[in-house]
């Protein structure tokens, strides 16, 4: 029984879609179920996803034919050091109120990843202990990796605008 | 009287020549290394190319003890105030070398994060473009810097991106993403 099947069995209602292209197991789920599923992934002995490898986001603005219902998607990559298996979670996040639950209390590494996603995409993480910019400076306006941020717009701290 | 004045001119010019000669062979450099150019800087500094042959083999990691600021690698807008502070902390006379194309013009980093040439923040004496520049290129730049030190010349001006004054012309024709998009949208 793969980890994807275990998650599907337990959370059939909260899951929007799944796929497993060449063994890359992916679960797309409703934002409300994120914490429950994450806790399940971490605490079930057969899954034991003790390593959050990556946490990032995608902005699907002007994505053409593949346009999504929600503008953003937060992506989690989990890995189990014990069982050597992986799982990807994707959570759609709406543009109007880009907010999602934090996982920083379950995986400590999520702390900085979530700060990065807040910095670059402006997605807030409910319950994060210290949600402030991590890469850009505090004076920076806007979020640089949003597709509607002009790609060469600069906000210099010193020196001319160039 | 005229003899005396010309004699004193003769001696001052001799003294400044001697000072220049002494300074150019005892360059205490401050390597401000931020990115991949640092690797090329290290290979230039190490035994194979050996900048010690030019009297520049002694990096100081304190700006107050150094004469030449080597800015090696991309400078981001977050880093820019730090670079300016380091430059201000250096004692006169001081020189600045822009090492690598990112420090000269911003290179291909035409984005929200990167300073488009450190000469918009601090005056630059020698530009060594290249991504990264080869050690031969660096040594060529170092020898040009030695000529400048010998003559007692120092750059005092910043580059103004609006008037395009203060940067060598061949470094003003950098190809940026915004130009690329402009060329696609309206080919000349």
Minimal Cβ distance to B84: which of A158, A160, A161: A158
CA dist., res. B125 & res. A38, Å (int): 56
| Mean pLDDT of chain A, nearest integer | 90
Which tens digit of pLDDT belongs to each residue from A119-131?
999 999 999 999 9
Query: Is the residue at A105 inside a domain?
Result: no
Query: Is the residue at A8 inside a domain?
Result: yes
Can you give the CATH number for the domain in which A89 is found?
3.30.460.80
Q: Is A162 exposed, middle or buried (0-12, 13-18, 19+ CB in 10 A)?
A: middle
In chain B, where are the structural domains located?
23-185
Q: Looking at the complex, does the CB of residue B115 fall below 8 Å from at least one CB of chain A?
A: yes
Query: Is the residue at A24 inside a domain?
Result: yes
CB atoms B78 and A137 under 8 Å? yes
Domain of A93, in residue numbers: 3-99
In chain B (188 residues long), the average pLDDT of successive 10-residue segments reads 66 82 90 91 89 87 91 92 93 91 86 89 91 90 92 86 80 65 67
Minimal Cβ distance to A162: which of B111, B116, B177: B116
Chain A residue numbers with beta carbons less than 8 Å from the beta carbon of B177 are 151-152
Q: How many domains does chain A have?
A: 1
Which tens digit of pLDDT belongs to each residue from A12-65?
888 888 888 888 899 999 999 999 999 999 998 888 999 999 999 999 888 876
Q: What six digits make up the tokens of B89?
A: 């902390």
CATH 3.40.50.720, domain B23-185, yes or no: no
Which tens digit of pLDDT belongs to each residue from B12-60?
778 888 888 988 898 999 999 998 999 999 999 888 998 889 888 888 8
Which residue of chain A is at minimal alpha-carbon distance from B122? Answer: A159
pLDDT value, residue A154: 87
Burial B109-140 (b: 16+ CB within 10 A, else e): bbbbbbbbbbbbbbbbbbbbbbebbebebbbe
Which residue of chain B is at minimal alpha-carbon distance from A159? Answer: B121
Q: Which of B72, B45, B40 is nearest to B56 (CA)?
A: B45
Query: Is the residue at A156 inside a domain?
Result: no
CB atoms B80 and A149 under 8 Å? no
Provide the whole-model pTM: 0.83
């Amino acid at each position: 029984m793969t980890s994807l099947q275990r998650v599907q069995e337990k959370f059939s209602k909260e899951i929007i879609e799944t796929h497993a292209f060449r063994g890359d197991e992916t679960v797309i789920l409703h934002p409300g179920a994120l914490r429950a599923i994450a806790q399940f992934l971490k605490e079930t002995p057969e899954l034991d996803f003790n390593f959050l490898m990556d946490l990032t986001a995608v902005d699907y603005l002007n994505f053409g034919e593949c346009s999504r219902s929600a503008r953003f998607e937060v992506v989690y990559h989990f890995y189990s050091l014990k069982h050597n298996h992986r799982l990807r979670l994707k959570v759609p996040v709406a543009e109007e109120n880009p907010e999602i639950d934090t996982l920083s209390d379950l995986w400590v590494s999520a702390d900085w990843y979530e700060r990065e996603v807040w910095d670059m995409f402006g997605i807030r993480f409910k319950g994060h202990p210290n949600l402030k910019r991590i890469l850009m400076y505090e004076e920076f306006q806007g979020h640089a990796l949003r597709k509607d941020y002009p790609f060469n717009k600069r906000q210099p701290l010193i020196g001319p605008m160039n | 009287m005229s003899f005396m004045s010309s004699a004193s001119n003769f001696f001052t010019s001799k003294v400044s020549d001697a000072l220049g000669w002494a300074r150019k062979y005892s360059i205490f450099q401050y390597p401000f290394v931020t990115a991949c150019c640092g690797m090329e800087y290290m290979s230039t500094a190490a035994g194979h190319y050996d900048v010690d042959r030019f009297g520049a083999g002694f990096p100081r990691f304190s700006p107050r003890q150094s004469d030449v600021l080597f800015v090696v690698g991309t400078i981001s807008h977050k880093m820019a105030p730090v670079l300016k502070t380091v430059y201000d902390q250096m004692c006169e006379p001081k020189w600045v070398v822009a090492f690598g194309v990112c420090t000269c013009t911003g290179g291909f980093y035409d984005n929200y994060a990167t300073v488009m040439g450190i000469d918009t923040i601090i005056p630059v004496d020698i530009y060594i473009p290249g991504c990264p520049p080869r050690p031969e290129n660096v040594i060529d730049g170092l020898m040009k810097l030695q000529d400048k030190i010998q003559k007692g010349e120092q750059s005092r001006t910043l580059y103004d991106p609006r008037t395009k004054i203060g940067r060598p012309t061949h470094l003003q024709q950098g190809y940026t993403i915004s130009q690329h998009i402009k060329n696609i949208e309206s080919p000349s």
